[in-house]
Structure 1
Amino acid sequence: MIDPIVMIVTMLIVGQIAVSVPILFAKANKSALNLPLAIFLVAIGALALNPIIASMAPNWYALYTALAFPALFMLCPSLWFYVEGLTADTKWQLQKKQAWHFILVAPALIISVMILMLPKETHTAIFIDDTEVSGWFVSLILVSMLIMMLLWLSQCVYTLIKIVRRLSHYRKRLKDLFSNNENKELKWINWLLFIAVCTWIISLITVFSSSLLDQFLFNGTTEALFSLILIWSLIHFGMQQQPALVTDEISPKVKNELIETLDNNKNEQSKASKTALPTKKYQRSALSKEQSKRIADKINTVMQSEHLYLDASLSLHKLAQHLDISPNYISQTLNQTLTTNFFDFVNQWRIEAAKPKILANEATILDIALDVGFNARSSFYKAFKQVTGQTPSDFRKAHQT
C-alpha cells in the first residue's frame, strides 16, 4: 500500500504540472522557450505518476511502464534546451539539427514495445513483485534497460556539465552589457540543479540500500518531497524568467552590434595578454589605439560630469546611445584600454560615489546603495568589498578619526 504522504505529494506534483503545462503550450507560439519547459514538466509528470498507477490502477501499469520509460530520456534534452534558450543572445527556436539530443528516445521506444509484448504475469513479476523471471526475451529486456539507464546517467552528467559551463559563460556576458544583474543571473537554476542532484543521489542510495542492505536509508517520502520542491521551483521561476540577452526593443543595427560584442567577448583572455599584444578577438576591429584612448577619456569624462552611473538601469546600449559610439567599440575599449568589463567599470564609479556618503554616516547602507545606482543591498556589499577589500561598516570604522 502506498504511503499516504507520498500519495498526497505526488498528487500535488501532478496538479502543479497539469495547471502549468497547458499555459506553457499556449504561450509557445509567442516564445518557443516555453516548449522545452513544457516537455520537461510533462516527462516529470509521467514519471511522478508511478506510485499512483501502481497502487490505484494496476491493470494499466503495463501500459504506463511502456509510456513512462521513454519520458525519462526527455528530461535532460528538454532541460538543456530551456537553459540554452534563457541564456541565448537572440530569440531561441527549436531546430531540426538539434534533434540528436533526443537520440536515446528511439531505443527507449523500442524497449517500450518489447515491454508491451510481455505477458501480464511476467510484467507483474518483473516490475511490481520484483521477482526473478527466466527466459531469453526477459533477459534481453532487462539488459537493454540496464544499458539504457547507464546511458541516461551519462547523459545526466554530460548535461549538468554543459549547463554549469553555459551559465558561467552567460554571467560573464551579462557583465559586458549591464551594470546591475539582479534577476538576470539565473541563480535559482543553481539551486534547481542542486535539488535535482540531491534527488538523484537519494534515489540511487535508496535503490542501493534496499537491494544490498535489505533496508531503506531514505524512504519514498524524502524523494517525493525533494521532487515537489524541484517541480515547484522550476514552475515558479521558469514561468516568470525572461531571456536577459535578447534585445528585441532596439534597432536591428544596434542589436547586431550588441550580438557582435557578445561574440567577441566569448574567448576573453587574461589581463596580461591584453596588455602585451592585440587580442585575437579584436583583430578584425577598425578601432585604433588612439581612438580607443579617446573613447576611454570620453567615457570617464561623461561619468564624472554627468554621473551616468547613478542610473540603476544603465547598460552598454544606453551608454553607447548617449555617446553616439558603437557598443562594440565601447566594449573593446573597456576590455583592452581600461582592462575591465562594463559591470565592474560602472560599479567602480558607484563605489567611489558611495565612500563619502558612508563616511558621513547620515543615511543607511541600503539608502546609500540605492542612491549611487545599485538595486540591492547585497550587490552593493559584494561590489564594495571587491573594490575596497572591506565591508562598508569596516570602511567607515577604518577612516574614523
Structure 2
Amino acid sequence: MASLDIWKVIISSMTIAMCFLSMAIVLTKQSGRSDQERFLALFLFIYGLVKFDQLYMHTNSFEIWPHLAGIMFSLKLFLPSVMYFYTRSLTEQKEQWFKRQDTFALCAPFIAALVATPYYVLSAEQKVALMNPLTRDPVLYERAVLGCQIGLVLFVVTAFTYLGMSFKLFRAHTSRLRMLFSQIEDKQISWLRWVIIVITLAWIWYAICELWLLTGKQPGSVYLTNMVIEMFFVGFIALRGINQQPVYQESNAELDWVETASNSDKESVYSKSSLTEEARVEIAKKLLYVMDVEQLYKDSELSLRTLSDKIQVSEVRISETFSQHMKTSFFDFVNQHRVREACRLLQQTDHKIVAVAFDAGFNSRSTFGAAFKKYIKQSPSQYRKQHSANAASRGG
C-alpha cells in the first residue's frame, strides 16, 4: 500500500473513531433539548458511516467483501439536510423533530439510490471486475461512472440548497434574539454559521475530487488535504455541539410566530389585535419609566420576559408596542438607553472604558464598542476625546 493510501486509512480511521465517540457523548448528555442532541448525534453517525465507506475503499476491502460495495452510495446526501435540522434545533424556540416539508430531504438520496440500482444488482464478481481496468465491462463501467456523477451533482445541489436554508434560519434567529434579549452576542451561534460555510465548501471540493478521480486521474495530496479539513471541522462541530447549551430555555409560541413572520404578515396580525393605540401609548410610558427612572437597562441579563414581569404586561403586547408604536426592537430600545448612559459616564467621569461599559449594562467591551459605534457613529474613546476637546475649548 502506498504511503499516501496509508495516510488516507489513518485519517479515515481517526475520523470514524471521533464521530462514534462524540456521538456516544452527545447521547449521554442532558442539555434540555433532546432534538438538539439527537440531530447532532445523527449527523455524527452518518458521517462516521460515510467515512467507514471510504475506509472500505482505501483498504481495498471490496476485494474481500464486494457485495458491500455501493451500499452507502446515497448516504452522504443526507449530511446537508441533517446539518440543517441541527441548525434548526439550535435557532428555533420550540423543540421539534420533523415537519411535513422535511420529506424533501429524502428526494436527493432516493434519486441517487434509483440511479445506483443497476450497480446494486450486479454480482460480486462483476463488482470486483469493475475495479480493475483490465477486467471491467466498458458498458457497465460507463453506467457506474454516470451514476456516480449524478450522485455527486445531487450532493452539490443539496449542499447549496441547505446552506441557503440554514442562513435563512440564522436571519430569523437574529431577529428573534433582538426581540427577546438585550445581550445577543453569546446567543448568535456564530461558530456554526462559519462552520457550515467551510464544511459546505469542503463537501463541494470533495465532489470535484471525486469527479476528477472518475476521469482516471489521481487527485493525490489534494484529496488527502480535503480529508484532513473534513476531519478537523467535524471534530470542531462535535466539540462545540457537545458544549452548546440551548439558546431558548422557554418558549412563547405566539410571540415566536409573530417575530419570525414577514412584515406583511405582522401587519395582518397586529391589525386584528385587541390592543388599541391608547393602550400602546400607556405601555410605552411604562417602558420608558422603568428605563429612565428605575434604570432597568443596567441589568446586563435583561430579557423581554424580565421586562414583562416587571411592568405586568404580556411579552406579545410589549413586542407589539415596540414594533407598531415605538418603531424599534427590544434590543435597540434597551441598548440605546445603555449607550446614552455610557455617554454621560464618558463625559462626567474618568472611569476606564471597560468600567463604563459594565456600569451602563453591557457585559463585554466588544459588545459595548459595537453598540456605541452603531448609535453614536464613533468609538467610545473618540467620543471621550472629542468631548474633552470641546469642553477645553469652551473653558478657554
TM-score, normalised by the number of residues in structure 1 = 0.85
Q: Aligned-pair distance for 1:208?
A: 5.8
Equivalent position SS for 1:356 = helix
Equivalent position SS for 1:93 = coil
Partner in structure 2 of residue 238 of structure 1: 241
Task: Identify the match of residue 98 of structure 2 among 87, 91, 94.
Answer: 94
Residue 171 of structure 2 is aligned to residue 168 of structure 1: yes
Q: What is the 5 A alignment of 1:147-296?
A: 147-207=150-210, 216=219, 219-247=222-250, 255=251, 258-269=252-263, 279-296=267-284
- Greater mean deviation of Cα atoms: 178-187 or 381-390: 178-187
Question: Do the aligned partners of residues 2 and 34 (structure 1) sit closer, same or farther apart at CA in structure 2, a change above 3 Å counting?
Answer: farther
Q: What is the 5 A alignment of 1:2-401?
A: 3=4, 4-26=6-28, 31-56=34-59, 57-60=61-64, 62-94=66-98, 98-109=102-113, 114-120=118-124, 122-124=126-128, 126=130, 128-129=131-132, 133-134=136-137, 137-207=140-210, 216=219, 219-247=222-250, 255=251, 258-269=252-263, 279-360=267-348, 362-401=350-389
Amino acid at match of 1:175: R
Equivalent residues of 1:358, 1:396 under 8 A apart: yes
Q: Aligned-pair distance for 1:77?
A: 2.1
Q: Aligned-pair distance for 1:394?
A: 1.2
Equivalent residues of 2:160, 2:200 under 8 A apart: no
Question: Do the aligned partners of residues 221 and 152 (structure 1) sit closer, same or farther apart at CA in structure 2, a change above 3 Å counting?
Answer: closer
Q: Aligned-pair distance for 1:75?
A: 0.8
Equivalent residues of 1:179, 1:347 under 8 A apart: yes
Equivalent residues of 1:205, 1:217 under 8 A apart: no
Unaligned stretches of 5+ residues in structure 2 = 390-396
Q: Aligned-pair distance for 1:148?
A: 3.1
CA distance in 2, matches of 1:300, 1:94: 42
Partner in structure 2 of residue 250 of structure 1: none
CA distance in 2, matches of 1:394, 1:125: 73
Aligned residues: 385
Equivalent residues of 1:62, 1:116 under 8 A apart: no
Equivalent position SS for 2:74 = helix
Cα RMSD over matched residues?
A: 3.0
CA distance in 1, matches of 2:74, 2:217: 29
Per-residue Cα deviation, 1:349-378 (whole angstroms, up to 9, x for no partner)? 111111132335633322322222222221
Equivalent position SS for 1:239 = helix
Question: Do the aligned partners of residues 145 and 203 (structure 1) sit closer, same or farther apart at CA in structure 2, a change above 3 Å counting?
Answer: closer
CA distance in 2, matches of 1:49, 1:99: 26
CA distance in 2, matches of 1:145, 1:205: 12
Equivalent residues of 1:282, 1:332 under 8 A apart: yes
Question: Do the aligned partners of residues 109 and 22 (structure 1) sit closer, same or farther apart at CA in structure 2, a change above 3 Å counting?
Answer: farther
Amino acid at match of 2:186: N
Q: Aligned-pair distance for 1:333?
A: 0.9
Amino acid at match of 2:82: S
Q: Aligned-pair distance for 1:50?
A: 4.4
Equivalent position SS for 1:245 = coil
Question: Do the aligned partners of residues 156 and 30 (structure 1) sit closer, same or farther apart at CA in structure 2, a change above 3 Å counting?
Answer: closer
Equivalent position SS for 1:176 = helix
CA distance in 2, matches of 1:359, 1:391: 14
Question: Do the aligned partners of residues 354 and 107 (structure 1) sit closer, same or farther apart at CA in structure 2, a change above 3 Å counting?
Answer: same
Equivalent residues of 2:199, 2:233 under 8 A apart: yes
Identity %: 24
CA distance in 1, matches of 2:301, 2:68: 51
Amino acid at match of 2:146: V
Amino acid at match of 1:14: I
- Greater mean deviation of Cα atoms: 348-357 or 146-155: 146-155
CA distance in 2, matches of 1:208, 1:108: 15
Amino acid at match of 1:225: V
Q: Aligned-pair distance for 1:44?
A: 1.3
Partner in structure 1 of residue 392 of structure 2: none
CA distance in 1, matches of 2:3, 2:93: 47
CA distance in 1, matches of 2:47, 2:134: 27
Unaligned stretches of 5+ residues in structure 1 = 248-254
Equivalent residues of 1:180, 1:343 under 8 A apart: yes
Equivalent residues of 1:209, 1:217 under 8 A apart: no
Q: Aligned-pair distance for 1:134?
A: 3.4
TM-score, normalised by the number of residues in structure 2 = 0.86
Q: Aligned-pair distance for 1:223?
A: 0.4
Equivalent residues of 1:264, 1:282 under 8 A apart: no
CA distance in 2, matches of 1:193, 1:53: 27
